[in-house]
């Protein structure tokens, strides 16, 4: 931010009652990841959802870059999180539910540590390998060697009880484990805010480092409950359902009840996102900080008669991916809505790219940072995104048949079971996936193209799966 831009921001901030400090000349930007759990891309007002109240995220979408075709290539918590941190496909890293991050596996935090950054993680981890049949995950202590290399780590394995959230961290005599005093999203945001305030105080020192920090909250994951002032905003009977929700009375009743809490949780998360941005603004960190907002996967909420995640339908795999923050000091910077395909393995390389750090060889995803900052001479956007369900969950109410699939840049989706075509949709003309043409000969030419590309994905990533011939 140059002096003139800073002064303009200061005037606006003072008019709003905020004190803004002039940022120091930091050669590398800070980065924040803020992610929710089970937050589908369709549940944003900026994406056309009439039920959603998301003013802060909508503002971020206007000021930043929104990847409208961002996917969760394995729409399940643990595999996604393993890929998010490592840029490794699930079959190379975390292949299923309750699998741990492999011992010795490097993460994006290790790369930031090696490049002079401070690193911190707050919230849901779910990569310690704990099996909930053995007890409640909130009381499981993640091995410090399996905390992803973060310098500061305050988290929990899994929770599913937003008013009774326990966090732990440290090791040896410095270990701690305590119950958060209030609602999970609010309290984890408080921890991040204190961290940001500490970084703001520290930057006055000559040797101050930039930071990479993660806020990972479980909401809007079920159970769908939020603080009363947010729950009061949603009447189940007045919610508008997506047109692909199955017309089954008992299912619709559950979906309406669930969605009322779901949207309340989303509004609460949006409010907390706004608190983080306000803190960055007040401490003078905003001009030097890239902010990512995304989710591990979506939530079906009755679409196609299904609930929760794992399946490759749009409500499950398509998630928000917004890159924002006050970065006018890093021209040329861009904003807008981009139909560029991006996948879960692309998050870490894109983050490093925004900081001018080359991704290491072991990362498999693409660096798409040039869509926010800089230019892309000679770079080509992905032509497709690879979908997987490697190891089934074993749960009664989720899909338990392994699959592979792709979504293509020109708007097709193809998914197969072992040696058997399952789904084929033209998303351009059928966004709600109401017409499955996977068994129709008329669409065989397009299907053969996608099968060939899917086979290439399997070969290129060293995967093993029987893709059908036709």
12: three-class secondary structure by DSSP: helix
Angle at 42 between CA 40 and CA 43, to 5 degrees: 75
CA atoms of 120 and 154, how far apart (whole Å): 8
Residue with tokens 């704990």: 130
50: three-class secondary structure by DSSP: coil
Residue 251 forms part of a structural domain: yes
Contact 418, 427 (CB under 8 A): no
Whether 268 and 362 share a structural domain: yes
Query: pTM of the entire structure?
Result: 0.92
CA atoms of 22 and 283, how far apart (whole Å): 9
Q: 66 lies in which domain range?
A: 28-382
- The pLDDT score that the predictor gives to residue 14 is 34
- The pLDDT score that the predictor gives to residue 95 is 96
Listed in sequence order, the residues at least 6 apart from 221 whose beta carbon sits closer than 8 Å to its beta carbon are: 36, 37, 38, 160
Listed in sequence order, the residues at least 6 apart from 66 whose beta carbon sits closer than 8 Å to its beta carbon are: 46, 320, 321, 322, 336, 337, 338
CA atoms of 72 and 385, how far apart (whole Å): 9
* Percent residues over pLDDT 90 in the chain: 84
Whether 409 and 347 share a structural domain: no
Domain boundary among 350, 382, 414: 382
Whether 313 and 413 share a structural domain: no
- The pLDDT score that the predictor gives to residue 388 is 97
The CA-based diameter of the chain, rounded to the nearest angstrom, is: 68
Residue 12 forms part of a structural domain: no
pLDDT in tens, the chain (470 residues): 343 343 334 333 333 444 434 444 456 899 999 999 999 999 999 999 999 999 999 999 999 999 999 999 999 999 999 999 999 999 999 999 999 999 999 999 999 999 999 999 999 999 999 998 899 999 999 999 999 999 999 999 999 999 999 999 999 999 999 999 999 999 999 999 999 999 999 987 777 899 999 999 999 999 999 999 999 999 999 999 999 999 999 999 999 999 999 999 999 999 999 999 999 999 999 999 999 999 999 999 999 999 999 999 999 999 999 999 976 565 667 888 999 999 999 999 999 999 999 999 999 999 999 998 876 666 788 999 999 999 988 877 788 899 999 999 999 999 999 999 999 999 999 999 999 999 999 999 999 999 999 999 999 999 999 999 87
For CA atoms 13, 14, 20, 22, the dihedral sign is positive
CA atoms of 291 and 213, how far apart (whole Å): 10
- For the CA atoms of 109, 83, 124, 220, the dihedral, rounded to the nearest 10 degrees, stands at 130
- The pLDDT score that the predictor gives to residue 378 is 66
CA atoms of 366 and 66, how far apart (whole Å): 17
Q: What is the DSSP string of 212-239?
A: EEEEE--TTSSS----HHHHTT--GGGP
CA atoms of 158 and 179, how far apart (whole Å): 14
- The pLDDT score that the predictor gives to residue 374 is 73
Distances in Å between the Cα of 348 and the Cα atoms of 216, 225, 340, 343, 368 are: 15, 31, 17, 10, 10
Residue 346 forms part of a structural domain: yes
What are 349-390's pLDDT values in tens digits? 999 999 999 999 999 999 999 998 876 666 788 999 999 999
User: How many domains are there within the chain?
Assistant: 2
Whether 413 and 370 share a structural domain: no
Angle at 188 between CA 183 and CA 189, to 5 degrees: 100
Which residues on adjacent β-strands are paired with residue 307?
A: none
- The pLDDT score that the predictor gives to residue 331 is 61
- The pLDDT score that the predictor gives to residue 327 is 63
Whether 349 and 405 share a structural domain: no
Length of the chain counted residue by residue: 470
- The pLDDT score that the predictor gives to residue 281 is 95
Domain boundary among 323, 349, 382: 382
- The pLDDT score that the predictor gives to residue 3 is 37
Whether 78 and 193 share a structural domain: yes
Whether 444 and 306 share a structural domain: no
What rounded mean pLDDT belongs to the chain? 91
Residue 255 forms part of a structural domain: yes
CA atoms of 311 and 399, how far apart (whole Å): 6
Residue 408 forms part of a structural domain: yes
User: In 129-287, which residue ranges form alpha helices assigned H by DSSP?
Assistant: 184-202, 228-231, 249-282
CA atoms of 224 and 290, how far apart (whole Å): 30
Whether 302 and 413 share a structural domain: no
Residue 311 forms part of a structural domain: yes
Residue 395 forms part of a structural domain: no
The total of other beta-carbon atoms located within 10 Å of residue 301's CB is: 25
Angle at 30 between CA 26 and CA 35, to 5 degrees: 170
Query: The CATH number of the domain where 113 resides is what?
Result: 3.40.720.10
Whether 354 and 291 share a structural domain: yes
């Amino acid at each position: 931010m140059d002096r003139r831009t800073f002064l303009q921001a200061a005037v606006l901030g003072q008019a709003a009652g905020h004190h803004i400090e002039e940022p120091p000349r930091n050669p590398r930007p800070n980065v924040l990841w803020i992610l929710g759990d089970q937050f589908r891309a369709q549940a944003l007002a900026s994406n056309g959802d009439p039920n959603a109240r998301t003013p802060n995220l909508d503002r971020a979408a206007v000021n930043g870059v929104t990847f409208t075709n961002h996917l969760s290539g394995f729409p399940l918590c643990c595999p996604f999180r393993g890929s998010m941190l490592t840029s490794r496909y699930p079959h190379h890293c975390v292949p299923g539910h309750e699998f741990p991050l492999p011992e010795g596996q490097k993460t994006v935090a290790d790369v930031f540590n090696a490049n002079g950054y401070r690193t911190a993680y707050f919230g849901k981890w779910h990569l310690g390998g704990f099996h909930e049949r053995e007890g409640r995950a909130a009381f499981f202590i993640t091995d410090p060697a399996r905390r992803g290399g973060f310098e500061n780590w305050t988290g929990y394995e899994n929770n599913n009880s937003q008013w009774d959230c326990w966090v732990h961290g440290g090791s040896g005599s410095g270990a701690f484990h305590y119950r958060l005093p209030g609602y999970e999203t609010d309290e984890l945001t408080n921890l991040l805010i204190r961290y940001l305030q500490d970084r703001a105080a520290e930057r006055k020192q000559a040797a101050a480092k930039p930071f990479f920090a993660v806020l990972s909250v479980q909401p809007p994951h079920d159970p769908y409950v939020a603080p009363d002032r947010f729950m009061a905003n949603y009447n189940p009977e007045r919610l508008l359902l997506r047109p692909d929700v199955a017309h089954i009375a008992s299912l619709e009743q559950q979906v309406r009840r669930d969605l009322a809490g779901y949207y309340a949780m989303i509004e609460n998360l949006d409010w907390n996102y706004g608190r983080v941005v306000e803190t960055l603004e007040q401490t003078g960190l905003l001009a030097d900080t890239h902010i990512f907002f995304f989710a591990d996967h979506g939530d079906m909420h009755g679409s196609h008669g299904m609930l929760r995640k794992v399946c490759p339908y749009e409500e499950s795999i398509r998630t928000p991916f917004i890159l924002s923050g006050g970065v006018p000091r890093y021209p040329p910077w861009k904003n807008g809505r981009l139909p560029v395909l991006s996948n879960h393995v692309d998050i870490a390389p894109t983050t490093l790219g925004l900081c001018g750090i080359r991704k290491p060889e072991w990362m498999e995803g693409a660096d798409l940072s040039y869509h926010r900052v800089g230019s892309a001479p000679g770079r080509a956007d992905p032509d497709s995104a690879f979908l997987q369900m490697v190891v089934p969950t074993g749960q009664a109410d989720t899909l338990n048949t392994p699959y592979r699939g792709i979504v293509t840049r020109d708007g097709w989706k193809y998914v197969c079971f072992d040696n058997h075509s399952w789904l084929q949709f033209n998303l351009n003309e059928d966004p709600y996936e109401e017409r499955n043409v996977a068994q129709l000969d008329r669409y065989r030419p397009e299907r053969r193209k996608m099968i060939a590309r899917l086979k290439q994905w399997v070969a290129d990533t060293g995967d093993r799966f029987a893709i059908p011939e036709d």
